[in-house]
A and B are shown apart, each in its own frame.
Chain A
Amino acid sequence: MAISIRKLARQARELAPGHRACAGCAFPSIIRIVLSVTDDPIVVVNATGCMEVVTSIYPYNAWPVTWFHSAFDNTGATISGIEAAYKALVRKGKIPADKKIRFVVFAGDGGTYDIGLQALSGALERGHDFLYVCYDNGAYMNTGIQRSGATPRHGATTTSPAGKVIPGKQQRRKPLTEIVAAHDIPYAAQASPSHWLDLARKAEKGLLTEGPAFLNVLSACPPGWGFPEEKTIEISQLAVETGFWPLYEVENGYFRITFKPKEFKPIEEFLRAQTRFKHILNDPKLLEDFKEDIKREWERLEFLASRPRPQE
């Protein structure tokens, strides 16, 4: 479909108001974009986390589509069971074969990079037909901002505080999108709501892809990152323009970078805008590490993207 904001608005499916997400939270707009690029029936599986908790407080359901939650670590397995039931019931003639239902997971970086990685990996390997959307805010936000495998190096969280001896998280962020792509699935991509058309196109591709598809979407978090709540989209844009959050897609193993500025903005602009990174600006060694991590990731992505595609 040719995507425009007006088209999305016309067939909008979005969270109903009245949910308890923080003022300025990014993921409601991620949900809006993903759900609105198609009008096929959708079943959502949500992992335990911010999104699940704020939208499902009994009896207040903020979702406009069918929604299921069972636990934190198992959305990959849960969606596999749902998709299997659908296939079985179609095969037995209990559901009409032309009733196409889209199976979509929404899980945070906690439920994806860490505790949910095994279940995701199994679902990818088995080739179930689903789209997995990770909303990545870089920490276990729902329980109060603890470090996750997605937290960038030197990022301050409550379990990796910027202390006098150890200045924040000491490990680099897990390159999860690449790990997912390495499962040799049909489609994986990284996106940001700031670049809405890129996200919408990737969401549509992911939904229409037969087999496993994965989207890792940056989800800026005002309390977790430490920025004023009106700056959510601006910060997401800065994340992309400084190179911190590369936008790319992987189709059947072939990488394509979907956005690269002619010149990256200085990373200091991104760091300065958030309290979780302010200690980095005061220490040249930490700043050097942070820049090095971004450079390292880009070198790898550029190399992967340089692989020539077979002639169509």
Chain B
Amino acid sequence: MPRIPMTGNEAAAYAMMQINPDVVAAYPITPSTQVVERFSDYVNNGECQTEFVPVESEHSAMSACIGASACGARVMTATAAQGLALMHEMLYIASSMRLPIVTVIASRALNSPLNIHGDHSDTMGSRDSGWLQFYGESVQEFYDHVFIALRAAELSNLPAFVCEDGFILSHTLEPVDVLDKNEVAKYLGERKPLYNLLDTDHPIMAGHLSLPDSYMEHRRKLAEGMMEAPKFIDQAYREFAERFGRKYDWIEVYDPQDAEVAVLIIGSAAGTAKETVDLLAEEGKRAAVIKLLVPRPLPVERLRKALSKFKVVAIMERTDSYKNHGGPMFSEIAAALYHHDTRPILRAYHYGFGGRDIFPEDFMKVFNDLLDMASGKKEIPETMNYVGLKED
């Protein structure tokens, strides 16, 4: 298949065109805007038959997507930051109503102050909403995951985010091996909805009220759905590898030197971290990168397996959760490892907020600190470790 230079946003729009969803209800917001713009071009030029609804806000975007998805339609949208935050009440509804909506997110910082650049505060802020989450390191990886996310969503009947770092991937040209549209259709198959409002011969009521005597049972059902999701994500990955030849996994470990220290990271900065590992190897130093591609659902067993061999791991996050104990993933990973026999020392790091760049020199410092800690020469504080922050 052809290799085309595309930005992340162009790749997302292209993927959506290939998928040809039934409904896309979306609102523009930087840095995801071009997804909607390019997709509108495809629609208006007849390259797909999607009903595009140019809604008047992101809250309405998710509301319209939920209504459409409840009719058995294949539904997608795109947003970022404040737009995702504005959808927040509806995110919980999409998952609890078991609607496999896929939302492309060009991850961006949340206000205040206003910042339109890439970080993970938006998607991490929605991590309890019952959505699957996939993060691409490169435009290629992100493009592939648009299809994988949709397949996984429709198999598990849960909605999914597929994320590209705002501006860093969304606006950067990278070569993309595009898939064949017909093969995509075969990969995705037909959606099998749990219910369908348009089947008016069998009138149902969806979205009822539940008193204290039944709400908890309904929610247990949702938890069960999330517990079954891993096998469907595995299936989506397996089928993708079989059909398209590219193999992905929830966690990618880059450990060419059998290191004792590692950084765990999500998104595009993983690439820079891997480059730094190679630079360190030239100096005879051993370090590793653990890239987390799917933090939702939390891959507990995979995390235990991947992390347990290391002595010290820095959990590097492109956001904070303002609880005085590291970012969101730091606490979750610590909890996942808590009862495991072998576990590394964990340290909470923050980097790259609001599009602040991170360079190999920055990773060098982190790895060297971790190596010093592993050899007893230095103590790194448990939390509040910032990379690239103007301290004084």
Residue of B nearest to A43 (CB): B197
A84 on interface, CB distance cutoff 8 Å: yes
Query: Which positions 192-237 of chain B face chain A at CB distance < 8 Å?
Result: 197-201, 203-211, 214, 218
Q: Is A298 on the interface with B (CB-CB < 8 A)? A: no
Q: In A59-85, which residues have CB < 8 Å from any B CB?
A: 59, 61, 63-71, 73-74, 76-82, 84-85
Which residues does chain B contribute within 8 Å of A125, judged by CB atoms? 56
Chain B residues with Cβ below 8 Å from A70 are 63, 66-67, 90, 93, 97, 207
Given known A-B contacts A58-B211, A80-B55, A80-B64, A65 and B49 have beta carbons under 8 A apart: no
Contact indicator B70/A68 (Cβ below 8 Å): yes
Given A43-B200, A74-B60: A84 touches B68 (CB 8 Å cut-off): yes
> What residues on A are CB-neighbors of B90 within 8 Å?
70-71, 74
Q: Are B63 and A84 in contact (CB under 8 A)?
A: no
Q: Are B93 and A126 in contact (CB under 8 A)?
A: no
Identify which of A25-33, A114-122, A217-225, A281-289 touches chain B: A114-122
Q: Are A57 and B208 in contact (CB under 8 A)?
A: yes
Task: Please tell me if the beta carbons of A84 and B208 are within 8 angstroms of each other in the complex.
Answer: no
User: A-B pairs with the 7 shortest C-beta distances?
Assistant: A81-B67, A81-B64, A122-B56, A77-B60, A41-B200, A74-B63, A77-B63
Q: What are the residues of chain B within 8 A of A307 when measuring CB–CB? A: none
- From A77, A82, A118, B71 is in contact (CB under 8 Å) with A82
Chain B contacts for A64, CB-based, 8 A: 203
Say yes or no for B4: interface residue by CB 8 A criterion. no
What's the count of A-B pairs with C-beta under 8 Å? 161
Minimum distance in angstroms from B56 CB to a CB of chain A: 3
Tell me if A56 counts as interface (CB < 8 A to partner B): yes
* Interface presence of A52 (CB below 8 A): yes
Interface 9-mer from A87-95, A155-163, A189-197: A87-95
Q: Does A305 contact B (CB under 8 A)?
A: no
Inter-chain CA distance A85–B53, complex, in Å, is 10
* Cβ-defined contact, B198 with A85, below 8 A: yes
Within 111-145 of B, Cβ neighbours of A (below 8 Å) are at: none
Tell me whether B23 is interfacial, beta carbon within 8 Å: yes
Is A42 in the interface zone, CB < 8 Å from B? yes
B268-311: which have CB < 8 Å to A? none
Interface of chain B residues 50 through 90 with chain A (CB within 8 A): 50-51, 53-57, 59-61, 63-73, 75, 89-90
Which residues of the partner chain A approach B200 to less than 8 Å between Cβ atoms?
41-43, 65-66, 101
Q: Inside 8 A of A85's CB, which chain B residues have their CB? A: 22-23, 51, 67-69, 71-73, 75, 198
What is the CA–CA distance of A59 and B213 in the complex, to the nearest angstrom? 11
> How far is it, in angstroms, between the C-alpha of A79 and the C-alpha of B25 when the chains are bound?
12
Distance of A91 from chain B, by nearest CB (Å): 6
A to B CB contacts below 8 Å, 14 in the list: A53-B209, A67-B204, A68-B206, A80-B53, A81-B25, A81-B53, A81-B66, A82-B71, A82-B197, A85-B22, A85-B75, A88-B51, A89-B72, A118-B60
Q: Beyond the given A80-B55, A85-B71, could you list 13 further A-B residue pairs with CB under 8 A, ordered by the A residue number?
A: A52-B209, A56-B208, A66-B200, A71-B63, A71-B89, A73-B59, A81-B23, A82-B71, A85-B51, A88-B50, A88-B68, A89-B22, A101-B200
A residues in contact (CB < 8 Å) with B: 41-43, 45, 52-53, 56-59, 61, 63-71, 73-74, 76-82, 84-89, 91-92, 95, 101, 118-119, 121-122, 125-126
Partner pick for A69 among B57, B59, B89, B207, CB 8 A cutoff: B207
Cα–Cα, bound, A284→B327 (Å): 63
Contact B55 A77 (CB under 8 A): yes
Cβ-defined contact, A79 with B67, below 8 A:
yes
Contacts A52-B209, A58-B210, A85-B198: A91 and B49 contacting too (C-beta < 8 A)?
Answer: yes
Report how far A64 CA is from B59 CA in the complex, Å.
Answer: 29
A56 and B59 in contact, given A43-B200, A87-B51 (Cβ under 8 angstroms): no
Q: Which of B23, B60, B66, B203 contacts A67 (CB 8 A)?
A: B203
User: Do A58 and B208 touch (CB < 8 A)?
Assistant: yes
Distance in Å: Cβ of B220 to nearest Cβ of chain A: 14
Which residues of the other chain, B, contact A58 by a CB distance below 8 angstroms? 208-211, 214, 218
Q: Which of A68, A76, A80 contacts B197 (CB 8 A)?
A: A68
In the complex formed, the residue of B with least CB distance to A65 is: B203
Nearest CB of chain B from residue A30's CB, rounded to whole Å? 19
Complex CA gap A76/B60 in Å reads 8
Taking each of B61, B63, B66, B73, which has the highest tally of chain A beta carbons within 10 Å of its own beta carbon? Answer: B63
Look across to chain A and name the residue whose beta carbon is closest to the beta carbon of B27. Answer: A122
Closest to A80 in B: B64
CB distance from A96 to the nearest CB of B (A): 11
- Nearest-neighbour CB distance to chain B for A100, whole angstroms, equals 10
Contact B208 A61 (CB under 8 A): yes
B215 nearest CB across to chain A (Å): 8
Residues in B with CB closer than 8 Å to A119 are: 56-57, 59-60, 63
Known interface pairs A76-B60, A118-B57; A86-B71 also in contact (CB < 8 Å): yes
Chain B positions within 8 Å of A67 at CB level: 203-206
* Beta-carbon contacts under 8 Å, B228-276 to A: none
**Closest beta carbon of chain B to A131's beta carbon, Å:** 15
Q: Interface digits, B23-59 against A, CB 8 Å rule (1 contact, 0 not)?
A: 1010000000000000000000000011101111101
Cβ B56 vs Cβ A66 within 8 A: no
- Tell me how far the C-beta of B55 lies from the nearest C-beta in chain A, rounded to whole angstroms: 6
Residues on A with C-beta less than 8 A from B56 are 118-119, 121-122, 125
B72 contacts which chain A residues (CB < 8 A)?
85, 89
Q: Residues of B contacting A91 with CB < 8 Å?
A: 49, 51
- Whether B67 and A80, one on each chain, are in contact in the complex, defined by CB atoms closer than 8 angstroms, is yes
Known: A68-B197, A89-B22. A81 touches B63 (CB 8 A): yes
In whole angstroms, what is the CA distance A196 to B210 when docked? 34
> A78 touching B64 by the CB < 8 A rule?
yes
Contacts A77-B59, A84-B25, A85-B51; A63 near B205 (Cβ below 8 A): yes
Interchain nearest-CB distance for A122 vs B (Å): 3
**Are A88 and B93 in contact (CB-based, < 8 A)?**
no
Task: Give the residue among A58, A71, A81, A82 with the most B Cβ atoms within 10 A.
Answer: A81
**Chain B residues whose C-beta falls within 8 Å of the C-beta of A101 in the assembled complex:** 198, 200
Write the nearest CB–CB distance from A102 to chain B, whole angstroms. Answer: 10
Question: How many whole Å from B365's CB to the nearest CB in chain A?
Answer: 47
Distance to closest chain B CB from A220 (angstroms): 24
